[in-house]
Structure 1
């Protein structure tokens, strides 16, 4: 397993030598793969607890994961993230990882994979496209069992830079003016972009046709379902469970180095927590989510969803959106 810490250091070193938006930039035509291996039950049980997955899947009271149940839909993304960061901080990757903003994610389960099935993980960069706020890269992660694709994700990451008027083909639905950005040195940077903030994240390199970019609804008016009080150490606890110890999530002091008054919650935690709250997470086969604004810790947030359970959002007490998304379940 590649070291996420080493990738963060490499990203900080190489980013000053890369310039987003340069003519002729191309993505590395390489796929990075982790050999097939069963999911480790201990770390998975910890991940389930911190994200609120309390249904089938864990042996009650033992901290052990039952082998007859699938991991949460978001978990393969967590397993592959260090490998993705290795690709994105490599010399051939055209964008500086310091400054990338994670604007959306789309995950699809093609068939249920259980934790005792050896899972092969592959990451690659699927597409590089002009965006009206800069350049967007679409990152892909795939999971296979015995050579069969069982799970995949697509993520959009925006490298912000000056563009000509009218440049770019993508409507900026996640990164509107006046919203915050997650500043980072190389992990999942969620939210709408604030000028001058730096962020980072990734997966990795070249092959299949990318999925259509999702545009989750920005309703801000779904009925409330639950209120969560998030502790100040949530970033440290999730970082220990996921391996994502980005300094912006850990302490107020380290977050202030990147322009935030306090530590912020991981965006991938907010997605996972919403899926857990949605109920029957083992039946969710597709989710798409747009990151709108970071959650400053500690915080009180409201999870809201429509009556059918298809659309959801996370917002603060004033109605400001942190996350919007849609869910599709098995029939």
Structure 2
């Protein structure tokens, strides 16, 4: 929590930090069960594929606290997870997180958190989280992402307290997710769902192979409370109007 608050302070230096932060963790089964419940995963002896992101969140915030700008206004716009094999409960994991340099974007500048997870010497999981720092952009930068939405297969009713419940199990207490009054100064009429909750809920609804890559783009925030539709077809999945995803075995 303190690291998150430090990240919200004015930036430091002129370049992104070049450190690689590492941490060894053993997963708490009680915390894991609470996370699985909030995100819709069946409780198993394997980690939900989005859970390592939660384990690495503190390291990401520690790097962001060294960035040349405040974290206020930073938007998570895309996330790609590669699971090389299921990660088993009880394994001791080594997390490593680094951050890329800033790149131009049509709405500002982007940077990426690069996260890897090893069990012993074996690389079992990795991810790239793309974030946008809004500001003066470059119209010459194009987005080559094309996506055909799949048909609707389910409807989800999301409660007003979803952001608070996910914050409790993820450590992400960004005020835009907690209460409407806290979200309004940032331009939202109500609190919004966490993007990584939305991705987790999608993956919980899919039949996943042991090894895969799941790449998503976050298109538009989900206001809470809300009713949204989910769809899946072949290698595509979506929360219509809000998230677009591709699953590659």
| Range class of TM-score, shorter chain | over 0.9
Unaligned runs of 5+ in 2: none
Distance apart, 1:53 and its partner CA: 0.8
Unaligned runs of 5+ in 1: 19-24, 58-68, 174-214, 316-320
Are 1:12 and 2:8 matched, yes or no? Answer: yes
Candidates 52, 64, 73, aligned match of 1:88:
64
- Mapped to 2, the partners of 1:105 and 1:224 lie a distance apart of 22
Distance 1:103 1:87, change over 3 A: same
Query: Residues 136 and 157 of structure 1 are in contact (CA less than 8 Å); yes or no, is this contact kept in structure 2?
Result: yes
Larger radius of gyration: 1
Which structure: greater strand fraction?
A: 2
Distance apart, 1:83 and its partner CA: 1.2
Distance 1:293 1:284, change over 3 A: farther
Distance apart, 1:129 and its partner CA: 1.8
Which residue matches 2:73?
99
- Mapped to 2, the partners of 1:284 and 1:276 lie a distance apart of 15
Candidates 231, 239, 242, aligned match of 1:314:
239
Are 1:29 and 2:18 matched, yes or no? Answer: yes
1:117-136 aligned within 5 A: 117-136=91-110
Distance apart, 1:219 and its partner CA: 2.6
Aligned residues: 249
| Secondary structure in 2 matching 1:283 | coil
Distance 1:10 1:153, change over 3 A: same
- Mapped to 2, the partners of 1:114 and 1:165 lie a distance apart of 45
TM-score by length of 2: 0.93
Distance apart, 1:164 and its partner CA: 5.6
